[in-house]
Amino acid sequence: MCTEPIEVVSYKIGVCRVSPKGKDCQTEFERLSYNGKTSVVLCKPRTGRMHQIRVHLQYLGKSREFHVRLEGIARVTYLLTRKNLHAHC
């Protein structure tokens, strides 16, 4: 679970970051599988902040490649929970 607040630096270009000045935010992560090289992770955003999943993964130290692979799972989570993620692929 990542509960770091997220601040929107620029709405115009969609830049967000973890910051104490940001809004409350929670994302739960669950590793579903690992093949020795890559992981499949279920992302459960509990709030709907802009780029929430991407920002929290970056804060936790995951690589850019990892972010891109999770965007598809973020869409599935969106469809199952009907939360507005603001995570456009």
pTM metric for this prediction: 0.66
What phi and psi, each to the nearest 5 degrees, are found at residue 60?
Answer: -80, -5
Positive or negative: CA dihedral 7, 44, 56, 13: negative
- Please answer whether residues 51 and 8 qualify as being in contact, where contact means their C-beta atoms are separated by less than 8 angstroms: no
Tell me: the pLDDT tens digits for 1-58? 999 999 999 989 989 999 999 999 999 888 888 888 777 778 888 988 888 888 888 8
Name the CA dihedral angle for 80, 38, 46, 87, rounded to a multiple of 10 degrees: -70
